[in-house]
Amino acid sequence: MKKKFFFIFSTASALLLAAACSKQDLIEETQLTEGPSATMSTSGKSSSTFFYGVNGHPLGTKPYTSVPAKTQINLLKGMGMNIYRIDVQSQLDNGYITVPHLYKPLKEAADAAGVTLLPMLYPRDFDINLSERQSYERGRVLGDRFARRYGNDFTYYNIGNEMELRCLLSGSLSGASVSHYDQKKFKVVAAYLKGMNDGIKSKDPNAKTIINANWMHYQYLLMLERHGVKFDIVGYHWYDEMESLALKNHNISDITQFLSSKFNKPIWFLEVGVRNKTGTRSEAEQKAFLDSFIAKCRNNPQVRAAIIYQLFDEPQKGTGLEANYGIFKWAKQYTEYRAKSFAR
């Protein structure tokens, strides 16, 4: 019997809906040429496309695979969103996505709706114990094979995810200093990411690659730049508790402006969310933080994307953090969902 999905929902106002456009259009619209002082429109927003969207796991976990791909895309469009960040694993021998039967309808629905898919390409064969040369070659092959298969599907590639954690020294270190990283391990990570970027661009020269970090780990991204690792966009993850800690411990009241002072690249916030491990925090708290932080992003011309973490709660993860991150919750597990305050 076909499942029925119900939701309470109204269109979010004042957020940009991107029309379907070509790959070259996207590249031109997001090109940053003037650093932090990029020209603003008279409305106070950047004249370039602002990507506003959400994370999801449509190629993997039960809360997502239970909901048709077209329905997920329609939820994004109804909220005025134009980008969907998804985690992707590719087959090591040929580069194909491991679940083509899930990817195909998602891609078709996204294309029809004018929604950009942003793959987070998982570094599944990364090994911190390899030599730099071996690490580079593994990353290059992974990127080459993936872009060979999907270069026509994607403009943007998020290569790896928070890989600074592979080389951050243990202890209560913020990551804001070079001394907070194991330099030998860092070089192995850097080699792999350099390989991924080179491999992707060998098959998709117009690709835009994103490397991300979180919390005060901006120094890691600066280290990658100094180490000669090429990437086009600074990716960052920021959660609500980081706001108060950044102000208290680092005198940073606006991480978007702080990062603008450190980088000349476009900045994309790839994960923005509220920690709710116990499930007791209110929907109002989630909405207040997301509204406030997305406004900061939209008021900074160097910030070109704000992507919420995530679309659906994942109750199968029990007491883990991701159980309650969603902007939609389950009224009846995996068959009936309801919009939380932010999504409404």
- Closest among 187, 204, 285 to 24, alpha carbons compared: 204
Give the dihedral sign, CA 20/25/27/29. negative
Instruction: Please give the DSSP secondary-structure letter assigned to residue 12.
Output: P
Instruction: Please give the DSSP secondary-structure letter assigned to residue 98.
Output: S
Residue-wise pLDDT tens digits, 55-111 = 999 999 999 999 999 999 999 999 999 999 999 999 999 999 999 999 999 999 999
- Structure pTM? 0.88
Please tell me the distance from the alpha carbon of residue 232 to that of residue 240, in angstroms, as a whole number: 26
- 23-30+40-339: CATH topology: TIM Barrel (3.20.20)
Residue-wise pLDDT tens digits, 137-161 = 999 999 999 999 999 999 999 999 9
* Angstrom distances, CA of residue 259 to CA of 26, 158, 302: 23, 18, 9
Please tell me the distance from the alpha carbon of residue 211 to that of residue 233, in angstroms, as a whole number: 7
Find residue 214's DSSP bridge partners: 237
Please tell me the distance from the alpha carbon of residue 51 to that of residue 74, in angstroms, as a whole number: 16
Phi first, then psi: give them for residue 326, nearest 5 degrees: -65, 155
Please tell me the distance from the alpha carbon of residue 143 to that of residue 187, in angstroms, as a whole number: 18
**Domain limits of the chain?**
23-30+40-339
Query: Cβ atoms within 10 A of the Cβ of 276, count?
Result: 20
At residue 321 the predicted structure's pLDDT band, cuts being 50, 70 and 90, is confident
**Whole-number average pLDDT of the chain:** 89
Which residues fall within 8 angstroms of residue 35, CB to CB, at 6 or more apart? 264, 302
pLDDT at 173: 92
CA dihedral 54→59→64→70, nearest 10 degrees, is 80
Which residues fall within 8 angstroms of residue 245, CB to CB, at 6 or more apart? none
pLDDT at 300 over 50: yes
Give the CB-side neighbour count of residue 144, counting CA atoms within 13 A.
13
